[in-house]
Structure 1
Amino acid sequence: MNPAITQLKDFLLSHHVDELYAQAIATGAGVIGLFVLAWAVNYIAKHIILRAVNAVVRRTKFQWDDVLLDTGVFTRLSHLAPALVINTFGASVLGDSPRVLAGVSGAVSLYLICIWLGVLFAILNAVHIVSQQKGAKKGVPVKGFIQAIKLVSVVVSLIFMLAILLNKSPVYLFSGLGALTAVLLFVFKDAILGFVAGIQISANNMVTVGDWIEMPSAGADGDVIDVSLTTVKVQNWDKTITTIPTYSLISDSFRNWKGMSESGGRRIKRSIHFDISSIRFADEEQLERWSKIGHVREHLERKKTEIAKDNEKLGEAANVLGNGRRLTNIGTFRAYCLIYLKTHKDIDQEKTLLVRQLEPTEHGLPLQIYTFVNNTAWAYYEGVQSDIFDHLLSVAKVFDLRVFQEPSGSDIVTGIAALKSTAAKES
């Protein structure tokens, strides 16, 4: 027992106070003194020490201590002061009342567990904020790992609190978890799957905040705005939010456009379909007319010289169509497209650049443009792509090529009018 309490008890006994009352008065005075001391320490911790810490932190050049302050780490630590006082001096005050001492000690222990859990949560929140401010490795889902740590911390804390309430060893309770494994796996299924998925996402650098992903099965097409332990939030281009279970990114397929964004270029892969009946050998009049086009002038001169040398070997037979080599309107147009793209300021010349024919179909001969715009901004990319095809569709007529399209109402009307005109002339 505390010497002061003993002296008070002896003083009361010396003044002929009953021993039971003397003990109660001395213990009560000790309890009051203990709580007054706890209140005083709490006041000093929160109104003097905490304010001093706040002032020092605000004056430092470091950012992490400001984050610790803003997330309430120091404030929550200050709650430990009165509990530590009671825990330290409780035994000397309540030594003669074992049951009361056990109850107070248990309550203080529960309080300390809650405080330490709150401090841990605040520190983890600070880690999350600092990782975002400092631009931590994007492939690491920090928020998911923090949520996993919080979940484990809560489970462990609950076990310790239950052990205190039941007056059992935590080891005893931990050993009993085996029987509850199936229940725990069912209850925390999403959390466990999400945690495993988070590790795989991190290891494989699959997705992170800011990535543009497409996941048709979930109706997601937009930027990832949050990756947590159990869900991934995607803000679609129409500003709606799609929430996807984290483990779905492992079990289902999705497209991540991060590579395109990081490369600095965005691909154009589009075809123009030409009416096959408009494809033919070029005659002298056409070659003369096309040679005035700057983009193909050198190409035509080089090809005509090359073809003339090859055809000399055939002699008179070269004058027959089907013998020897000849320029075509589609080939010249293909060369025009290639040169046009190579001189275009918005095309990335370091990446793949192709103008190629694909297999003819019932929709004509596809001429595919395969290249990359040197800017990944969506609106800019669409503008460049539209300008390129506006130009190519318009200039195709110069090469006597007809772009294929399904017959429309105006085509049918024009055809009927042409038939009527022909019939009238014949009659």
Structure 2
Amino acid sequence: MKIFNWAYKIFKELGFSELWADYSNLAINIIILIITAYVLDYIFKKVLIIIMAIIAARTKSTFDDFLVANKTAKYVAHLFTLFFVHKTVPIIMKDFVYWEGVFSKGIKFYIIVLSLWIIRSIFNSLKDYLKGKEKYKDKPIDSYIQVIMIALWIYGVIYFILILFDTSFGKLLGAFGAISALILLIFRDTILGFVASIQVTVNDMVRIGDWITMEKYGADGDVVEINLATVKVQNFDNTITTIPTYFLISDSFKNWRGMQDSNGRRMKRSILLKSSSIRFLNDDEVDGLKKIQLIAPYLDRRQQDISKYNESNSIDKSVLINGRNLTNFGIFRKYIDQYIATHPGINKDMMFMCRQLQPTQNGMPLEIYAFVKDKRWVEYEHIMADILDHILASVHYFDMEINEIGAIKIEY
């Protein structure tokens, strides 16, 4: 007991008793402040959430519904509480300058972070709202928001450093200049993605919903998401391919949007015919082909023109090669032209034709070039298949043969 009394006497003489009392009062004040802040935060949060829910229920716009879903009211309630604490701390810590500075800096840091969270929740609500609008469904809204949030976070980090070290913006900028090379190395992909995202948006290269093909990365499907770093493509086999955004600038890819926005989808098919089966036709053979209704008027007209020319020039027709003649290959081409021109699935306002290609060692290529009205994949394939089936079945009527080596070439 004597030892305790002696220790307490020394403690009191050194002034520790008053210091203990001061810190006890400070601790009590801090506890009271924490409890008060918690109660206020709970009240603010409940009131704001209820008010926001009532407003969302009574308005026709869905934007406020998204604000509720993204917890904007909750973050704003925290902000009100922080402002209360920020104003109260200098009062309860007026005798503790050091701790007042520490607490004030901590509160300012939290206010910065919370403000950024509030802005992010508002932007997320705006993103969800705009994606529900037909006008903005194909726009890379994620990229825009990410660019803005990166800029705001950079500003927040700068402000954070200024508060932490009590320095000026000029000194901080000088320090950043000294380590700029390191910053560029660390954030290389982010910077490249940022620049590429701006170029993709400004040049309207890709939109959400576009069908793109990028063979180098195995992408062949619809773009489902565009953000600052990546572009997500859902392939037709339902797999997902992720492509870095800046690869859309540095590498080549095919965007099928032009086809989808046009009035037809191109079909380009070529068949190989045996060169040995191509020959001249005599009058009896031409008369036999007049039974084919699509080319009967053409044959009448051409036969008259050819006969008139040969007679006026005294052509010896005992040998077919003399003068002008019809060939089975030429008549077959004309038949395909007429067939395409009358097919209901072909857009007649766009180019269509049947043409010869450069002869090959495998035979004579005959190409059908036209645009199908129905651009939907399944229907498009069915129409193309019907046309090709008919053409392949028609070959023998013209006494021609398909070359089985590389018989059909397909190109979209």
**TM-score by structure 1 length?**
0.85
Partner of 2:271: 272
Cα 1:401–1:194 change in 2 (3 A) is same
TM-superposition CA deviations, 1:185-219 (whole Å, max 9, x none): 11111111111111111122111221111112222
TM-superposition CA deviations, 1:219-274 (whole Å, max 9, x none): 22222222111111222222222221111111111111111111142111111111
Q: Are 2:58 and 1:59 aligned? A: yes
Partner of 1:336: 335
- Distance in 1 (CA, whole Å) between partners of 2:229 and 2:323 is 68
Instruction: Give, in angstroms, the shift of residue 37 of structure 1.
Output: 3.9
State whether residues 87 and 108 of structure 1, in contact with CA within 8 Å, keep that contact through their aligned partners in structure 2. Answer: yes
Partner of 1:206: 205
Gaps of 5+ in 1: 1-17, 409-427
Q: Are 2:360 and 1:361 aligned? A: yes
State whether residues 45 and 77 of structure 2, in contact with CA within 8 Å, keep that contact through their aligned partners in structure 1. Answer: yes
State whether residues 139 and 208 of structure 2, in contact with CA within 8 Å, keep that contact through their aligned partners in structure 1. Answer: no
Code of the residue aligned with 2:178 in structure 1: it is A
Instruction: Give, in angstroms, the shift of residue 311 of structure 1.
Output: 2.3
SS in structure 1 of the partner of residue 197 of structure 2:
helix
- Distance in 2 (CA, whole Å) between partners of 1:21 and 1:383 is 90
Partner of 2:404: 405
Aligned residues: 391
**TM-score by structure 2 length?**
0.88
Partner of 1:91: 90
Partner of 1:77: 76
Matches within 5 A, 1:27-42: 31=30, 34-42=33-41
Cα 1:232–1:69 change in 2 (3 A) is same
State whether residues 148 and 191 of structure 1, in contact with CA within 8 Å, keep that contact through their aligned partners in structure 2. Answer: no
State whether residues 37 and 85 of structure 1, in contact with CA within 8 Å, keep that contact through their aligned partners in structure 2. Answer: no
Report sequence identity in percent.
Answer: 38
- Distance in 2 (CA, whole Å) between partners of 1:195 and 1:143 is 12
- Distance in 1 (CA, whole Å) between partners of 2:332 and 2:300 is 15
- Distance in 2 (CA, whole Å) between partners of 1:367 and 1:268 is 14
Partner of 1:220: 219
RMSD over aligned CA atoms reads 2.4
SS in structure 1 of the partner of residue 242 of structure 2:
strand
Partner of 2:67: 68
Code of the residue aligned with 2:126 in structure 1: it is V
State whether residues 282 and 320 of structure 2, in contact with CA within 8 Å, keep that contact through their aligned partners in structure 1. Answer: no
State whether residues 130 and 137 of structure 2, in contact with CA within 8 Å, keep that contact through their aligned partners in structure 1. Answer: no
Partner of 1:157: 156
- Distance in 2 (CA, whole Å) between partners of 1:254 and 1:19 is 77
Partner of 1:381: 380
Cα 1:278–1:24 change in 2 (3 A) is closer
Code of the residue aligned with 2:84 in structure 1: it is V
- Distance in 1 (CA, whole Å) between partners of 2:233 and 2:32 is 58
Partner of 2:141: 142
SS in structure 2 of the partner of residue 346 of structure 1:
coil
State whether residues 271 and 366 of structure 1, in contact with CA within 8 Å, keep that contact through their aligned partners in structure 2. Answer: yes
Instruction: Give, in angstroms, the shift of residue 405 of structure 1.
Output: 2.0
Code of the residue aligned with 2:89 in structure 1: it is G
- Distance in 1 (CA, whole Å) between partners of 2:30 and 2:169 is 30
- Distance in 1 (CA, whole Å) between partners of 2:23 and 2:388 is 97
- Distance in 2 (CA, whole Å) between partners of 1:129 and 1:154 is 21
- Distance in 2 (CA, whole Å) between partners of 1:316 and 1:156 is 91
- Distance in 2 (CA, whole Å) between partners of 1:254 and 1:195 is 19
Partner of 1:423: none
Partner of 2:182: 183
- Distance in 2 (CA, whole Å) between partners of 1:183 and 1:142 is 30
State whether residues 212 and 219 of structure 2, in contact with CA within 8 Å, keep that contact through their aligned partners in structure 1. Answer: yes
Greater Cα shift, 181-190 or 165-174: 165-174
Partner of 1:258: 257
- Distance in 2 (CA, whole Å) between partners of 1:247 and 1:191 is 10
Matches within 5 A, 1:288-327: 288-317=287-316, 320-327=319-326
Code of the residue aligned with 2:132 in structure 1: it is Q
Partner of 2:5: none
Gaps of 5+ in 2: 1-16, 408-412
SS in structure 1 of the partner of residue 134 of structure 2:
coil
Partner of 1:391: 390
Partner of 1:101: 100
